[in-house]
């Protein structure tokens, strides 16, 4: 009996858990192994089972930037909750577990009269995902306010703290490997006022409602922005709004969003991404790089 199977007997690990419900696209097949970890003791048990393992690992946050293959993910999916969804604000320093939703953190920081993290309200991900991708919007990025992050290597069991420089954070990039699990992050801001901060939160949320396809199945920006132009503007300029494959189409409201219907498959999303990328290259010579993570595909 493998270590993971032993943890399954304890209820920490489950088999063949559908991943679609954990993503904003609501598509995708099951994970061979799925662990929802609520505390550090259980995380220690899971890490112990993976030391030296070659099993592929996927760290799952809020699923807002992820497409899982229809066949599923043939490895271990780790999702943090419980104590990893807690945060603390003390003496101007914000310490947040990786499962804390970014909009919730943004509002709490504003209430504490701290400025600089308001942009998080416009990102439907988690703290862990923000560190991993250096998430950003409205001219700000995670690296602007991140002090350090706690990282656990699921394959070696080693734990470390890393600064933005050590993480090599750049536009939608970090040097974190698939088996690196962000457990906690510390942020700093500047003295601010709750009144001013709330006005900024309102401005950001209103802009999103006016310019992005809310109330639909989507995963936010599909492509990273190339130099000198936004991906959405480029796709729009080339007349690709409304382009579709299966039950997935390029949003007519924001061309860097793909909107899925109830019959959409993950394969449809991947193929539309590839079609748009190909069309943009043939029409403009620009190579678009996906911002969304595609996992489990052959």
Instruction: Give the burial string for 186-221 (b: 16+ CB within 10 Å, else e).
Output: bbebeebeeeebeebbeebeeebeeebbeeebbbbb
Q: What burial letters (b/e) apply to 87-111, b meaning 16+ CB within 10 Å?
A: bebeeeebbbbbbbbbbbbbbbbbe
| DSSP structure class, residue 201 | H
- In the chain the first and final C-alpha atoms are separated, in Å, by 28
- What digits encode the pLDDT tens for the residues 11-55? 889 999 999 999 999 999 999 999 999 999 999 999 988 877 888
pLDDT band of 263, cuts 50, 70, 90: very high
More confident residue, 3 or 246: 246
Q: Which residues, 6+ apart, have CB-to-CB distance to 156 below 8 Å? A: 51
pLDDT digit string (tens) for 63-94? 999 999 999 999 999 999 999 999 999 988 99
Cα–Cα dist 58/74, whole Å: 10
Q: Is 6 a catalytic residue?
A: no
Q: 110 pLDDT exceeds 50?
A: yes
Q: What is the reported pLDDT for 11?
A: 83
Cα–Cα distance list, 127 to 93, 97, 257 (Å): 15, 7, 22
- 106-114: average pLDDT: 98
SS3 state of residue 277: helix
Give the domains, in start order, of the chain with CATH numbers: 3-80 (3.30.43.10), 85-210 (3.30.465.10), 214-295 (3.90.78.10)
Lowest mean pLDDT among 99-103, 116-120, 215-219, 267-271: 215-219
Pick from 81, 75, 76, 2: which is nearest to 36 by CA?
A: 81
221, 249, 251, 266: the active-site residue: 221
CA proximity to 267, closest of 234, 294, 233: 294
- Global pTM reads 0.93
| String of DSSP letters for 17-51 | EE-GGGSSS----EEEEEEEE-SHHHHHHHHHHHT
Residues 134 and 144 sit within 8 Å (Cβ to Cβ): no
Active site residue 172: yes
Tokens of 176: 């974190």
Q: Of these residues, 79, 107, 132, 172, which one is catalytic?
A: 172
Active-site annotation holds for 184: no
- Out of 36, 118, 141, 291, pick the active-site residue: 291
Alpha helices in 90-141 (DSSP H): 102-111, 127-133
Residue 1 clears pLDDT 50, i.e. is over it: no
Q: Which two tokens stand for residue 213?
A: 């396809």
Q: Tell me the per-residue pLDDT of 142-170, one tens digit each, with 9 for 90 and over.
A: 999 999 999 999 988 899 999 999 999 99
């Amino acid at each position: 009996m493998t270590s993971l199977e032993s943890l399954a007997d304890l209820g920490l690990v489950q088999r063949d858990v559908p991943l679609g419900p954990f993503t904003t696209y609501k598509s995708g097949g099951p994970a061979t192994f799925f662990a929802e970890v609520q505390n550090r003791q259980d995380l220690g048990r899971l890490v112990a089972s993976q030391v030296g393992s070659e099993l592929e690992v996927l760290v799952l946050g809020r699923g807002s930037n992820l497409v899982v293959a229809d066949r599923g993910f043939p490895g271990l999916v780790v999702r943090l909750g419980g104590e990893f969804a807690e945060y603390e604000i003390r003496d101007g320093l914000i310490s947040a577990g990786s499962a804390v939703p970014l909009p919730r953190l943004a509002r709490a920081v504003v209430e504490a009269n701290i400025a600089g993290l308001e942009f998080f309200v416009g990102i439907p991900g988690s703290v862990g995902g923000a560190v991993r991708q250096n998430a950003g919007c409205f001219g700000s990025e995670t690296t602007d306010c991140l002090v350090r992050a706690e990282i656990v290597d699921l394959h070696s069991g080693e734990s470390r703290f890393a600064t933005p420089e050590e993480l090599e954070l750049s536009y939608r990039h970090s040097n974190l490997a698939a088996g690196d699990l962000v457990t906690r992050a510390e942020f700093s801001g500047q003295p601010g006022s709750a009144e001013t901060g709330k006005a900024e939160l309102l401005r950001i949320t209103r802009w999103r409602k006016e310019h992005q396809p809310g109330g639909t199945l989507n995963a936010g920006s599909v492509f990273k922005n190339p130099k000198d132009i936004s991906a959405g503007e480029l796709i729009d300029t080339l007349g690709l709004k409304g382009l579709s494959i299966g039950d997935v189409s390029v949003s007519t409201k924001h061309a860097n969003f793909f909107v899925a219907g109830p019959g959409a498959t993950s394969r449809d999303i991947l193929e539309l991404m590839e079609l748009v990328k190909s069309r943009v290259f043939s029409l403009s010579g620009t190579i678009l790089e996906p911002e969304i993570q595609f996992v489990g595909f052959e």
